[in-house]
Structure 1
């Protein structure tokens, strides 16, 4: 082997070792790198570094405008380029999948302001919980909200299963099973409108599930970095009632 080839081989071997080490290091930090991929390092506090009560006030003020038909005229394309590299939502909302419920609209917030997790019946499941944890740990949201709504079909189905022993097809029994504890809690209160009471109880139970989550959400709550709230959206009036 000539001296030149031997030199190139040695250099290539060193390069392979260095590349292998870098790959190993990157692989070991991959989960965190993936989680931080959409959040650049900032020199100052992020735009959503606000107290939880301020975030809630902004939401409720937006809802008041929405319910009154006094929404502001906005051009959401103006900040589109700024949203490419990062997101700084002020709240993570666990909402029902109902097509009549759109958190961004009913709170009159723009793109990037609300991190939305949706499932029919707005209950906490493992995937939804992980998404809410992501919003707290990675995105730095100051507020979590469980948002139920009037005339919820998933809740109505759960009420029929409990009270009338209705049988549902497909995977629907698995879905309503998660809402049944709220039906039982509402039934024990002997309320005249069991569906409406279950909607409220479902929000309360899932707020508690978020509060009890360890360690991410519970630690953030203990440090007073976040708050957890619940509300019910009335489709007819457009108003959100905090509970």
Structure 2
């Protein structure tokens, strides 16, 4: 991501293998989002004041990506700041909110966006569904953030070892008993992303990435969102979180 600094070179952006050997406590920070989420749309890069907050609100897609990159670097190197949690911030937020990014993530308890990106109250509009499945409620929530709160960035955040994706892959292969009705709905929504060229655990891993791409493409094609992308006031990016390294990389 332009303008961010790295404390060690990152691997090839968007790659999904070879990152599971390190443990969090032994990591040397690398600008994962700086490299992995590079290439956001042009558009506003200034910052806007947020009453009570210690930081200004990133005003455009690139500035928002830089903030997320810095936060993820702090998280995975055990230098979290836990920003925007003070009493003045809490009081200021009574009067309104000005989040700078929408994160569509999975419900998995190991991947809370505010922690993964080291953000605080009022910073992120988080929408979570198993496997990042889109339905009308999820889509409406995302559009609320963009159209009503003028949020300049949407991140579709998948993750390593996603249980919803694994269930969809098993159901597609006919393994195990039938899924309960509501879980079958999730599997049906994820099924178009299943990568049948891979096998075993590799199929689940490849499908996690393919599902992020598919959801990101669907969001980018929404007319109201596409209009803002065209003007450079919004970017929609895909990313995935590696549980073993606590690192976020872009999914192109």
TM-score, normalisation: structure 2:
0.73
TM-superposed deviation, 1:123:
2.1
Unaligned runs of 5+ in 1: 1-44
Residue pair 1:159, 1:180 contacting (<8 A) in 2 also: yes
Q: Which runs of 5+ in 2 are unaligned?
A: 1-47, 51-56
Whether 1:61 and 2:92 are equivalent positions in the alignment is: no
Within a 5 Å distance, the mapping from 1:163-242 to structure 2 comes to 163-166=173-176, 167-183=178-194, 186-188=195-197, 193-214=202-223, 216-242=224-250
Deviation at 1:202, TM superposition (A): 0.4
> Where has structure 1 moved over 3 Å in runs of 4 or more?
45-49, 188-192
Cα distance in 2 for residues equivalent to 1:132 and 1:145: 10
- Inter-partner Cα distance in structure 1 for 2:101 and 2:182: 30
Residues 158 and 239 in structure 2, CA contact (< 8 A), matched pair in contact too? yes
Shift of 1:120: 0.7
Larger Rg over CA atoms: 1
Q: Against the structure 1 CA distance between its residues 73 and 93, is the aligned structure 2 distance closer, same or farther, given a 3 Å change threshold? A: closer
Equivalent pairs counted in the alignment come to: 197
Seen in structure 2, the aligned counterparts of structure 1 residues 133 and 73 have a Cα distance that, compared at 3 Å, is: closer
Deviation per CA, 1:38-87: give whole Å up to 9, x if none. xxxxxxx6654612011011101110110011112657133111001111
Flag the structure with higher helix content.
1
Inter-CA distance 220–81: structure 2 relative to 1 (3 Å threshold): same
Partners in 1 of 2:81 and 2:103 — Cα distance? Answer: 22
The answer to whether the Cα contact below 8 Å between 1:94 and 1:123 also exists between their aligned partners in 2 is no
- Correspondence for 2:123: 113
Q: Deviations over 1:91-124 (max 9, x none)?
A: 0011101111100001001111000111111122
Q: Is the 8 A contact 1:49 1:140 kept in 2?
A: no
**Secondary structure at the counterpart of residue 179 of structure 1:** helix
Secondary structure, counterpart of 1:94 in structure 2? strand
